[in-house]
Structure 1
Amino acid sequence: MATHLGQPGRPRGLAGRIAGRIMRRHNRLDNVWTLSLLSIGDSDRVLEVGFGPGDAIRLATEAAPSCHVAGVDHSLTMLAAAKRLNRVPIEQGRVHLGLGSVDALPFPDDAFDKAFSINCIYFWPAPERGLGELRRVIRRGGIVAITVRDIDRAPYDAHRPDKLARLMSDANFESVAVQRNGTASHPLACVLGTK
Protein backbone atom coordinates (compact mmCIF):
# COMPACT_ATOMS: atom_id res chain seq x y z
CA MET A 1 0.00 0.00 0.00
CA ALA A 2 2.84 2.43 0.74
CA THR A 3 4.01 2.26 -2.88
CA HIS A 4 0.52 3.09 -4.10
CA LEU A 5 0.32 6.08 -1.77
CA GLY A 6 3.74 7.46 -2.70
CA GLN A 7 2.72 9.54 -5.72
CA PRO A 8 -0.58 10.89 -4.34
CA GLY A 9 1.17 11.69 -1.06
CA ARG A 10 4.11 13.54 -2.60
CA PRO A 11 3.89 13.60 -6.40
CA ARG A 12 7.24 14.00 -8.17
CA GLY A 13 8.71 13.71 -11.62
CA LEU A 14 6.86 12.27 -14.60
CA ALA A 15 4.85 9.89 -12.43
CA GLY A 16 3.88 12.87 -10.26
CA ARG A 17 2.66 14.84 -13.26
CA ILE A 18 0.55 11.85 -14.28
CA ALA A 19 -0.77 11.58 -10.71
CA GLY A 20 -1.69 15.28 -10.88
CA ARG A 21 -3.73 14.71 -14.04
CA ILE A 22 -5.54 11.84 -12.34
CA MET A 23 -6.20 14.04 -9.28
CA ARG A 24 -7.67 16.78 -11.47
CA ARG A 25 -10.23 14.37 -12.92
CA HIS A 26 -10.84 12.35 -9.76
CA ASN A 27 -11.25 15.33 -7.38
CA ARG A 28 -13.51 17.54 -9.50
CA LEU A 29 -16.69 16.81 -7.50
CA ASP A 30 -14.76 17.02 -4.21
CA ASN A 31 -13.41 20.49 -5.06
CA VAL A 32 -16.71 21.98 -6.21
CA TRP A 33 -18.64 20.60 -3.25
CA THR A 34 -16.10 21.63 -0.61
CA LEU A 35 -15.95 25.19 -1.94
CA SER A 36 -19.76 25.38 -1.99
CA LEU A 37 -19.78 24.50 1.72
CA LEU A 38 -17.36 27.34 2.46
CA SER A 39 -19.31 30.02 0.52
CA ILE A 40 -16.15 31.98 -0.24
CA GLY A 41 -16.78 35.69 -0.59
CA ASP A 42 -14.82 38.45 -2.30
CA SER A 43 -13.35 39.78 0.94
CA ASP A 44 -12.24 36.36 2.23
CA ARG A 45 -8.65 35.31 2.80
CA VAL A 46 -8.51 31.58 2.10
CA LEU A 47 -5.91 28.85 2.65
CA GLU A 48 -5.69 25.47 0.96
CA VAL A 49 -3.40 22.82 2.42
CA GLY A 50 -2.31 20.26 -0.15
CA PHE A 51 -3.44 22.06 -3.29
CA GLY A 52 -2.14 19.41 -5.71
CA PRO A 53 -2.50 20.60 -9.32
CA GLY A 54 -4.33 23.76 -8.16
CA ASP A 55 -7.89 23.18 -9.37
CA ALA A 56 -9.65 24.16 -6.14
CA ILE A 57 -7.61 27.36 -5.96
CA ARG A 58 -8.66 28.23 -9.50
CA LEU A 59 -12.31 27.49 -8.66
CA ALA A 60 -12.13 29.66 -5.53
CA THR A 61 -10.74 32.66 -7.43
CA GLU A 62 -13.35 32.24 -10.16
CA ALA A 63 -16.20 32.06 -7.63
CA ALA A 64 -14.98 35.10 -5.67
CA PRO A 65 -12.83 37.23 -8.02
CA SER A 66 -11.60 39.57 -5.27
CA CYS A 67 -10.73 36.95 -2.66
CA HIS A 68 -7.12 36.21 -1.76
CA VAL A 69 -5.98 32.59 -1.70
CA ALA A 70 -2.80 31.09 -0.29
CA GLY A 71 -1.76 27.51 -0.56
CA VAL A 72 0.91 25.14 0.69
CA ASP A 73 1.89 21.78 -0.71
CA HIS A 74 4.99 19.72 -0.08
CA SER A 75 5.44 18.64 -3.71
CA LEU A 76 7.58 20.69 -6.09
CA THR A 77 5.84 18.96 -9.00
CA MET A 78 2.39 20.03 -7.79
CA LEU A 79 3.63 23.53 -6.96
CA ALA A 80 4.79 23.95 -10.57
CA ALA A 81 1.50 22.58 -11.96
CA ALA A 82 -0.62 24.80 -9.68
CA LYS A 83 1.41 27.88 -10.58
CA ARG A 84 0.84 27.20 -14.29
CA LEU A 85 -2.90 26.71 -13.80
CA ASN A 86 -3.25 29.83 -11.63
CA ARG A 87 -0.79 32.06 -13.49
CA VAL A 88 -3.19 35.00 -13.96
CA PRO A 89 -4.40 35.35 -10.34
CA ILE A 90 -0.79 34.89 -9.19
CA GLU A 91 0.30 37.76 -11.46
CA GLN A 92 -2.59 39.83 -10.08
CA GLY A 93 -1.35 39.20 -6.54
CA ARG A 94 -4.51 37.34 -5.49
CA VAL A 95 -2.93 33.89 -5.19
CA HIS A 96 0.25 32.97 -3.30
CA LEU A 97 1.49 29.38 -3.48
CA GLY A 98 4.49 27.81 -1.82
CA LEU A 99 6.13 24.73 -0.47
CA GLY A 100 5.14 23.93 3.05
CA SER A 101 3.79 21.44 5.54
CA VAL A 102 0.57 21.49 7.52
CA ASP A 103 2.71 20.79 10.59
CA ALA A 104 4.37 24.22 10.40
CA LEU A 105 2.26 26.60 8.34
CA PRO A 106 4.29 29.66 7.27
CA PHE A 107 1.60 32.18 8.24
CA PRO A 108 0.87 34.36 11.25
CA ASP A 109 -1.94 33.69 13.70
CA ASP A 110 -5.46 34.64 12.56
CA ALA A 111 -4.35 35.18 8.93
CA PHE A 112 -7.32 33.54 7.16
CA ASP A 113 -11.10 33.56 7.17
CA LYS A 114 -11.44 30.06 5.71
CA ALA A 115 -9.19 27.06 5.16
CA PHE A 116 -9.66 23.71 3.53
CA SER A 117 -7.90 20.49 2.62
CA ILE A 118 -9.30 17.97 0.16
CA ASN A 119 -8.18 14.34 0.23
CA CYS A 120 -4.87 15.22 1.87
CA ILE A 121 -5.22 14.42 5.55
CA TYR A 122 -4.30 10.79 4.74
CA PHE A 123 -0.76 12.02 4.11
CA TRP A 124 -0.36 14.38 7.08
CA PRO A 125 2.41 13.14 9.40
CA ALA A 126 0.42 14.11 12.52
CA PRO A 127 -3.23 15.08 11.87
CA GLU A 128 -3.65 16.44 15.41
CA ARG A 129 -0.75 18.85 14.94
CA GLY A 130 -1.98 19.84 11.46
CA LEU A 131 -5.45 20.65 12.77
CA GLY A 132 -3.87 22.69 15.56
CA GLU A 133 -1.92 24.66 12.96
CA LEU A 134 -5.06 25.27 10.90
CA ARG A 135 -6.86 26.53 14.00
CA ARG A 136 -3.94 28.84 14.74
CA VAL A 137 -3.98 30.52 11.32
CA ILE A 138 -7.79 30.93 11.19
CA ARG A 139 -9.31 34.07 12.69
CA ARG A 140 -11.96 33.85 15.40
CA GLY A 141 -15.22 32.84 13.70
CA GLY A 142 -13.34 31.38 10.72
CA ILE A 143 -14.13 27.96 9.31
CA VAL A 144 -12.03 24.94 8.38
CA ALA A 145 -13.22 22.18 6.02
CA ILE A 146 -11.53 18.79 5.70
CA THR A 147 -12.92 16.68 2.87
CA VAL A 148 -12.27 12.94 2.70
CA ARG A 149 -13.57 9.89 0.92
CA ASP A 150 -16.30 8.32 3.03
CA ILE A 151 -14.97 4.79 2.57
CA ASP A 152 -14.37 2.11 5.18
CA ARG A 153 -11.12 0.66 3.79
CA ALA A 154 -7.44 1.59 3.81
CA PRO A 155 -6.13 4.24 3.55
CA TYR A 156 -9.44 5.98 4.14
CA ASP A 157 -10.64 4.02 7.18
CA ALA A 158 -8.14 5.69 9.53
CA HIS A 159 -9.68 9.05 8.59
CA ARG A 160 -13.38 8.27 8.84
CA PRO A 161 -15.57 11.37 9.26
CA ASP A 162 -16.55 10.49 12.85
CA LYS A 163 -12.87 10.14 13.81
CA LEU A 164 -12.02 13.43 12.10
CA ALA A 165 -14.88 15.16 13.90
CA ARG A 166 -13.45 13.97 17.24
CA LEU A 167 -9.96 15.15 16.22
CA MET A 168 -11.35 18.57 15.32
CA SER A 169 -13.21 18.80 18.61
CA ASP A 170 -10.04 17.76 20.45
CA ALA A 171 -8.20 20.55 18.57
CA ASN A 172 -10.70 23.02 20.09
CA PHE A 173 -12.78 23.66 16.98
CA GLU A 174 -16.38 24.57 17.71
CA SER A 175 -19.62 23.68 15.92
CA VAL A 176 -17.99 20.61 14.40
CA ALA A 177 -20.29 18.99 11.85
CA VAL A 178 -20.08 16.29 9.20
CA GLN A 179 -21.66 16.83 5.78
CA ARG A 180 -22.01 13.99 3.28
CA ASN A 181 -22.31 14.03 -0.51
CA GLY A 182 -21.22 12.15 -3.58
CA THR A 183 -22.39 8.92 -5.12
CA ALA A 184 -22.22 5.25 -4.20
CA SER A 185 -19.01 4.93 -6.18
CA HIS A 186 -17.62 8.30 -5.02
CA PRO A 187 -18.83 8.88 -1.43
CA LEU A 188 -17.62 12.09 0.21
CA ALA A 189 -17.66 13.59 3.66
CA CYS A 190 -16.57 17.02 4.81
CA VAL A 191 -15.86 17.77 8.45
CA LEU A 192 -16.33 21.45 9.24
CA GLY A 193 -15.36 23.34 12.34
CA THR A 194 -15.12 26.96 13.44
CA LYS A 195 -12.64 28.74 15.67
Structure 2
Amino acid sequence: MLSNKLGKQLGHPTYSLSGWLASKFFKWHNQILEENAVKLSNIQPNDTVLELGHGPGIGLQEASKLLMGPRGKLLGVDYSQYMHQMASKRMEEQISRGKVVLYYSDLLAMPIEENTVDKVFHCNCYYFWPDLKAGAKAIHRVMKPGGIMVTTLRLESVKKVASKNMFSGESWRPEVYMEALESSGFTDVRMENKREKLVTFQAIFATSVK
Protein backbone atom coordinates (compact mmCIF):
# COMPACT_ATOMS: atom_id res chain seq x y z
CA MET A 1 0.00 0.00 0.00
CA LEU A 2 2.84 2.39 0.88
CA SER A 3 4.67 1.53 -2.35
CA ASN A 4 1.53 2.19 -4.34
CA LYS A 5 1.00 5.55 -2.62
CA LEU A 6 4.59 6.63 -3.24
CA GLY A 7 4.36 5.51 -6.86
CA LYS A 8 1.28 7.70 -7.33
CA GLN A 9 3.10 10.68 -5.80
CA LEU A 10 6.08 10.23 -8.11
CA GLY A 11 3.74 10.21 -11.08
CA HIS A 12 1.44 12.97 -9.82
CA PRO A 13 2.83 14.93 -6.85
CA THR A 14 0.24 16.75 -4.76
CA TYR A 15 0.24 19.30 -1.92
CA SER A 16 1.20 16.88 0.85
CA LEU A 17 4.22 15.62 2.76
CA SER A 18 4.67 12.80 0.26
CA GLY A 19 4.30 15.28 -2.60
CA TRP A 20 6.99 17.48 -1.04
CA LEU A 21 9.24 14.43 -0.66
CA ALA A 22 8.59 13.55 -4.31
CA SER A 23 9.71 17.04 -5.38
CA LYS A 24 12.95 16.63 -3.38
CA PHE A 25 13.45 13.21 -4.98
CA PHE A 26 13.08 14.75 -8.44
CA LYS A 27 15.72 17.37 -7.72
CA TRP A 28 18.22 14.86 -6.32
CA HIS A 29 17.55 11.95 -8.65
CA ASN A 30 16.65 13.71 -11.90
CA GLN A 31 19.21 16.49 -12.20
CA ILE A 32 21.73 14.50 -14.26
CA LEU A 33 18.90 13.02 -16.33
CA GLU A 34 17.38 16.44 -16.97
CA GLU A 35 20.68 18.09 -17.86
CA ASN A 36 21.59 15.29 -20.27
CA ALA A 37 18.13 15.13 -21.86
CA VAL A 38 18.61 18.82 -22.72
CA LYS A 39 22.17 18.30 -23.94
CA LEU A 40 21.29 15.28 -26.11
CA SER A 41 18.36 17.12 -27.71
CA ASN A 42 20.82 19.34 -29.61
CA ILE A 43 18.68 22.42 -29.03
CA GLN A 44 19.27 25.32 -31.43
CA PRO A 45 18.73 29.00 -30.50
CA ASN A 46 15.50 29.41 -32.51
CA ASP A 47 13.93 26.01 -31.82
CA THR A 48 10.55 25.44 -30.24
CA VAL A 49 11.19 22.94 -27.46
CA LEU A 50 8.75 20.99 -25.29
CA GLU A 51 9.41 19.25 -21.99
CA LEU A 52 6.85 16.69 -20.88
CA GLY A 53 6.33 16.12 -17.16
CA HIS A 54 8.61 19.03 -16.34
CA GLY A 55 8.36 18.59 -12.56
CA PRO A 56 9.89 21.46 -10.53
CA GLY A 57 11.54 22.95 -13.64
CA ILE A 58 15.16 21.77 -13.55
CA GLY A 59 15.17 20.77 -17.23
CA LEU A 60 13.22 23.86 -18.24
CA GLN A 61 15.87 26.03 -16.65
CA GLU A 62 18.65 24.25 -18.55
CA ALA A 63 16.83 24.34 -21.89
CA SER A 64 15.96 28.03 -21.60
CA LYS A 65 19.68 28.91 -21.57
CA LEU A 66 20.03 27.54 -25.11
CA LEU A 67 17.00 29.28 -26.66
CA MET A 68 18.60 32.67 -27.11
CA GLY A 69 17.36 33.34 -30.65
CA PRO A 70 14.44 35.74 -31.26
CA ARG A 71 12.18 32.84 -32.26
CA GLY A 72 13.35 30.42 -29.57
CA LYS A 73 10.50 29.22 -27.37
CA LEU A 74 10.14 26.74 -24.53
CA LEU A 75 6.94 24.88 -23.68
CA GLY A 76 6.25 22.67 -20.70
CA VAL A 77 3.44 20.30 -19.76
CA ASP A 78 2.72 18.72 -16.38
CA TYR A 79 -0.53 17.36 -14.97
CA SER A 80 0.47 17.94 -11.35
CA GLN A 81 -0.75 21.35 -10.20
CA TYR A 82 1.93 21.29 -7.50
CA MET A 83 4.73 20.79 -10.06
CA HIS A 84 3.17 23.31 -12.43
CA GLN A 85 3.22 25.98 -9.74
CA MET A 86 6.76 25.15 -8.62
CA ALA A 87 8.07 25.37 -12.20
CA SER A 88 6.07 28.54 -12.88
CA LYS A 89 7.77 30.20 -9.94
CA ARG A 90 11.21 29.00 -11.06
CA MET A 91 10.63 30.24 -14.64
CA GLU A 92 8.71 33.40 -13.70
CA GLU A 93 11.04 35.84 -15.44
CA GLN A 94 11.13 33.89 -18.74
CA ILE A 95 7.35 33.43 -18.64
CA SER A 96 6.87 37.18 -18.23
CA ARG A 97 8.96 37.76 -21.39
CA GLY A 98 6.92 35.27 -23.38
CA LYS A 99 9.87 32.91 -23.92
CA VAL A 100 8.35 30.15 -21.80
CA VAL A 101 4.77 28.85 -21.68
CA LEU A 102 3.78 26.19 -19.15
CA TYR A 103 0.57 24.20 -19.35
CA TYR A 104 -1.15 22.52 -16.43
CA SER A 105 -2.48 19.72 -18.58
CA ASP A 106 -2.65 16.03 -19.26
CA LEU A 107 -0.38 14.87 -22.09
CA LEU A 108 -3.32 13.86 -24.29
CA ALA A 109 -5.05 17.22 -23.83
CA MET A 110 -2.04 19.53 -24.16
CA PRO A 111 -3.14 22.66 -26.08
CA ILE A 112 -0.23 22.75 -28.51
CA GLU A 113 -0.74 23.09 -32.26
CA GLU A 114 0.19 20.32 -34.68
CA ASN A 115 3.62 20.33 -36.36
CA THR A 116 5.04 23.18 -34.26
CA VAL A 117 7.69 21.59 -32.01
CA ASP A 118 11.31 20.93 -33.05
CA LYS A 119 12.55 19.06 -29.98
CA VAL A 120 10.82 17.15 -27.17
CA PHE A 121 12.51 15.83 -24.06
CA HIS A 122 11.42 14.15 -20.85
CA CYS A 123 12.89 12.02 -18.09
CA ASN A 124 11.39 9.48 -15.69
CA CYS A 125 8.03 10.12 -17.25
CA TYR A 126 6.60 7.62 -19.72
CA TYR A 127 5.98 4.81 -17.20
CA PHE A 128 3.29 6.92 -15.55
CA TRP A 129 1.26 7.34 -18.75
CA PRO A 130 -1.95 5.26 -18.65
CA ASP A 131 -1.72 4.52 -22.40
CA LEU A 132 1.73 4.54 -24.04
CA LYS A 133 0.46 4.46 -27.61
CA ALA A 134 -1.98 7.32 -27.04
CA GLY A 135 0.81 9.29 -25.37
CA ALA A 136 3.23 8.63 -28.24
CA LYS A 137 0.61 9.73 -30.77
CA ALA A 138 -0.03 12.93 -28.81
CA ILE A 139 3.68 13.76 -28.92
CA HIS A 140 3.96 12.91 -32.61
CA ARG A 141 0.99 15.20 -33.36
CA VAL A 142 2.73 18.34 -32.09
CA MET A 143 6.16 17.64 -33.59
CA LYS A 144 7.49 18.93 -36.88
CA PRO A 145 8.66 16.40 -39.49
CA GLY A 146 12.23 15.49 -38.61
CA GLY A 147 11.79 16.64 -35.00
CA ILE A 148 13.84 14.83 -32.36
CA MET A 149 12.60 13.41 -29.07
CA VAL A 150 14.90 12.34 -26.24
CA THR A 151 13.94 10.35 -23.15
CA THR A 152 16.41 9.75 -20.30
CA LEU A 153 16.14 7.23 -17.49
CA ARG A 154 18.22 5.13 -15.14
CA LEU A 155 17.04 1.66 -16.05
CA GLU A 156 18.48 -0.04 -12.96
CA SER A 157 16.56 2.36 -10.72
CA VAL A 158 13.38 1.89 -12.77
CA LYS A 159 13.68 -1.90 -12.44
CA LYS A 160 13.97 -1.57 -8.65
CA VAL A 161 10.88 0.63 -8.48
CA ALA A 162 8.98 -1.79 -10.74
CA SER A 163 9.96 -4.71 -8.46
CA LYS A 164 8.14 -2.97 -5.59
CA ASN A 165 4.91 -2.81 -7.65
CA MET A 166 5.05 0.98 -7.86
CA PHE A 167 4.20 0.93 -11.58
CA SER A 168 1.15 -0.52 -13.21
CA GLY A 169 1.72 -3.32 -15.73
CA GLU A 170 4.75 -3.62 -18.00
CA SER A 171 4.74 -0.12 -19.50
CA TRP A 172 7.96 0.76 -17.63
CA ARG A 173 9.94 -1.52 -19.93
CA PRO A 174 11.89 0.51 -22.54
CA GLU A 175 11.07 -1.96 -25.31
CA VAL A 176 7.34 -1.46 -24.73
CA TYR A 177 7.75 2.31 -24.89
CA MET A 178 9.94 2.10 -28.01
CA GLU A 179 7.39 -0.11 -29.73
CA ALA A 180 4.70 2.48 -28.97
CA LEU A 181 6.87 5.18 -30.54
CA GLU A 182 7.48 3.15 -33.70
CA SER A 183 3.78 2.41 -34.11
CA SER A 184 2.94 6.12 -33.73
CA GLY A 185 5.05 7.56 -36.55
CA PHE A 186 8.57 7.73 -35.14
CA THR A 187 11.64 6.28 -36.81
CA ASP A 188 15.26 5.66 -35.82
CA VAL A 189 14.03 4.65 -32.36
CA ARG A 190 16.99 3.48 -30.33
CA MET A 191 18.34 3.28 -26.78
CA GLU A 192 21.94 4.13 -25.87
CA ASN A 193 23.86 3.70 -22.64
CA LYS A 194 25.45 6.90 -21.32
CA ARG A 195 27.62 7.82 -18.36
CA GLU A 196 28.32 11.10 -16.58
CA LYS A 197 29.75 11.90 -13.13
CA LEU A 198 29.97 8.15 -12.38
CA VAL A 199 26.26 7.78 -13.11
CA THR A 200 25.17 5.34 -15.81
CA PHE A 201 21.88 6.14 -17.52
CA GLN A 202 20.00 5.38 -20.72
CA ALA A 203 18.82 7.73 -23.47
CA ILE A 204 16.06 6.80 -25.90
CA PHE A 205 16.01 8.71 -29.19
CA ALA A 206 13.23 8.96 -31.79
CA THR A 207 12.70 11.02 -34.95
CA SER A 208 9.28 12.23 -36.04
CA VAL A 209 8.30 11.25 -39.59
CA LYS A 210 5.23 12.65 -41.38
- TM-score w.r.t. the length of structure 2 is 0.85
> Aligned runs of 1:7-86 on 2, under 5 Å?
7-15=9-17, 16-66=19-69, 67-86=72-91
Question: What is the CA-CA distance between 1:30 and the residue it aligns to?
Answer: 0.1
Determine if the alignment matches structure 1 residue 93 to structure 2 residue 106: no
Point out the more displaced range, 94-103 or 153-162. 153-162
Alignment of 1:97-116 (within 5 A): 97-116=102-121
What does residue 189 of structure 1 align with?
202
2:173 aligned residue: 160
State the Cα deviation string for residues 96-143 of structure 1 (Å, max 9, x = none).
Answer: 012111122211110100111210111111111001010010001101
Q: Once structures 1 and 2 are overlaid, which stretch shifts more, 60-69 or 42-51?
A: 60-69
What percentage of aligned pairs have identical amino acids?
27
Query: Residues of 1 paired with 2:109 and 2:121: CA distance?
Result: 16
CA distance in 2 between partners of 1:171 and 1:159 (Å): 18
For 2:153, the equivalent position in structure 1 comes to: 148
Q: Is the 8 A contact 2:84 2:103 kept in 1?
A: yes
8 A contact 1:53–1:82 mirrored in 2? yes
- Given the alignment of the two structures, is residue 169 of structure 1 paired with residue 171 of structure 2, yes or no? no
Task: Write the distance in 1 (CA, Å) between the matches of 2:129 and 2:139.
Answer: 12
**SS at 2:27's partner residue?**
helix
Between the aligned partners of 2:32 and 2:174, the Cα distance in structure 1 is 18
Q: Identify the structure with bigger relative contact order (alpha carbons < 8 Å, sequence gap 6+).
A: 2
Paired residue for 1:136?
141
Number of residue pairs matched by the alignment: 195
Aligned to 2:5: 3
RMSD: 2.0
Paired residues of 1:161 and 1:189 also in contact (CA < 8 A) = no
Are 2:46 and 2:68, in contact at CA under 8 Å, matched by a contact in 1?
no
Decide which moves more: 169-178 or 39-48.
169-178
Q: Conserved in 2, the CA contact under 8 Å of 1:148 and 1:159?
A: no
1:71 & 1:55 partners in 2: Cα distance?
11
Ranges in structure 1 where 5+ consecutive residues have no aligned partner: none
Range 99-108 or range 134-143, more displaced: 99-108
TM-score by length of 1: 0.91
